[in-house]
Structure 1
Amino acid sequence: MSSPDTNLKKQKRRHRGPLIGMAVVAVFAIGLILFWIGEVFVTAPGPESEPAEAATEQVSPTELETGTVDVPPEAPVEEVAPGDTDVEVEQ
């Protein structure tokens, strides 16, 4: 059903403000998303940066075998017996 009293000029005038407001909000949201994506690309590490694991000091296998590796006090430590079957050893 259509409205019996339609005045298109009056309806255009009444809807102009809300439509402009919605357009401004949509442009602001798109600008905010583009800014966010740009910040992600700018702050991302590049290929020339060193990964976090490679930045730490590497421990040689001989140091691991002889027990000269410094362990931080907050690191979890579990004692293992030589014949323990629950321990998997990679070789």
Structure 2
Amino acid sequence: MTAPDTNIKKQSRRHKGPLAGIPLAILLAVVAFVGFLIWAALSDADTDGPQEAQTGVSTA
């Protein structure tokens, strides 16, 4: 059931913080994800293909 006399202006004032925070949180998540993708691409570019595993056994 809905309230019989909802004051939209009063409700928008009361929810101003959360309504501003939700888009900011989404923007922060998008920026973090793009940053992660850039970091992953750059760290993957440092390798020159498969690396040879070191077994720790000396053949000398």
Q: Which runs of 5+ in 1 are unaligned?
A: 57-70, 74-91
Q: 2:51 is aligned with what amino acid? A: A
TM-score, scaled to structure 2: 0.72
Deviations 1:35-55 (A, max 9, x none): 0011000110368x24313xx
Runs of 4 or more above 3 Å deviation: none
Percent identity of equivalent pairs: 32
DSSP 3-state at the match of 1:44: helix
> Counterparts of 1:17 and 1:10 in 2: how far apart (Å)?
13
Report the residue type matching 1:16 in the other structure: K
Q: CA RMSD in A?
A: 2.5
* TM-score (normalizing by structure 1): 0.51
Higher helix share: 2
Q: Which has the larger radius of gyration?
A: 1
Name the CA distance, whole Å, in 2 between partners of 1:50 and 1:22.
Answer: 42
- Size of the aligned set, in residue pairs, is 56
CA distance in 2, matches of 1:28, 1:45: 26
* Aligned residue number for residue 9 of structure 2: 9
